Amino acid sequence: MKVSWLSAVLVGAAATNAIDTISAVGNKFFTSSGTQFFVKGVAYQLTPADPLVDATQCALDVDLMKTLGTNAIRVYHVDPKANHDKCMSTLADAGIYTLIDLDTFDTYILPNDPWWNQTQHDRYSEVMDAFIKYDNVLGFFVGNEIIARANESQVAPYIKTAARDMKSYRDAKGYRQVPIGYSAADIAELRPMLQDYLTCGGNSSEIIDFFALNSYEWCDPSTYATSGYAVLQEQAKNFPVPIFFSETGCNVGGPRVFDDQAAIFGPEMVNDWSGSIIYEWIEEANEYGIISYGPKVDPTATGSNIEGGFTRAGKPTAISPDFDNLKSQWAKATPTGVAKANFKPSVSTRACPAATSGGWLVDGNVALPTLGETFSGTYTTVPSATVTESATAASGTSSSTSSTNPAPPTKEIAGMGAGLVGVMLFFTFWL
């Protein structure tokens, strides 16, 4: 029995390790073979709990993902106690990497009542423990849109602390240095300060390994100049870590032709951006899906794999024209990038932004919270920032418009704290 069990483990390990690993070097991603990696991904969360446990469904979806040109998926919630070997192996065989959110429904960092404690640390660690063995894990997120309104930037030190402690845990365990980063809401008043703050201070152990943005500024028909992407690019120049879109694909106006992909992978942005993740795979009430599993059903219908009026399993069918439009854009987007051997990163970390009156609330390189500390509601304690009334928005406030995550509220918010539920009512998003 021992021999049989060990053989099965070795076979499974071989199946999931037959793909290059990816690391962050300077402001770019590289495969272990030395080629630059650009993300062409889709957001993939069929069910609130964990879409990577159903091996049969995974295989059906991956078959269609391959025809699209997908090389990555983002998954917002996973069950660290479940077995993901078969799905992760199927993805790896197709050359598809995963970006996994570490937070769980009861450990999300709250924007207006932030804390970082041992329970959060342990739950995040469990997710890392469960997925670190897979070579096609591209990165981990410590949070998604924790700051969803302009008056919530006081939570930023807790985001940075979570990244610091998860990087420390990763390194202490001797794990592969899978990049750890953050997925931000597109808030014009805070965007440049947040991305700079999370990469400032000069201590590599305390900064995020990548910064990702959920942006819906480009709504077809639009252009690089009129969409706001020109502003995003200006703020991404010479960024110290990889930056990419963790959600994009506005469907206002339409039909979606995904012209923004030509800009992201083209000469305007390709030197500073590392790709994009399209929101989203499955068609739901928000109509952002690029595939469906059948016609919409009655919203009150119940049954296996039915939720919110949509079937969430079976053979995926491409939604026209969105699926084909995206496929066409990605087929044309073939950046070669730079070889790792020829890349000499020279960008240093950014200066920590000063506080602004009525805007960014963290003043400079404040002391980060320690494990177990809760925000006191003032800036004389941790984090020890003070709002400087003389500071102005000239320190980096963007003239670009904000964009809101279109994900609908889902039943999983019922079990969360009242503070987070309040935020969700205004800025709904997948957790």
Active site residues: 145, 247
Residue with tokens 């000499």: 344
Token code pair at residue 107 = 């450990």
Parallel, antiparallel, or unpaired: how do β-strands 310-311 and 306-307 relate? antiparallel
Inter-residue contact 362 to 385 (CB < 8 Å): yes
The Cα–Cα gap between 414 and 418 comes to 9
Q: Can you state the angle between helices 85-93 and 2-16, rounded to 10 degrees? A: 40
Nearest Cα residue to 163 out of 184, 186, 180: 180
- Are 74 and 110 contacting, i.e. CB atoms less than 8 angstroms apart? no
Directed axis angle between helix 322-332 and helix 55-68, to 10°?
60
**150 to 59, 112, 396, 421: CA distances (angstroms):** 41, 12, 14, 17
What CA–CA distance (Å, rounded) separates 148 from 184? 8
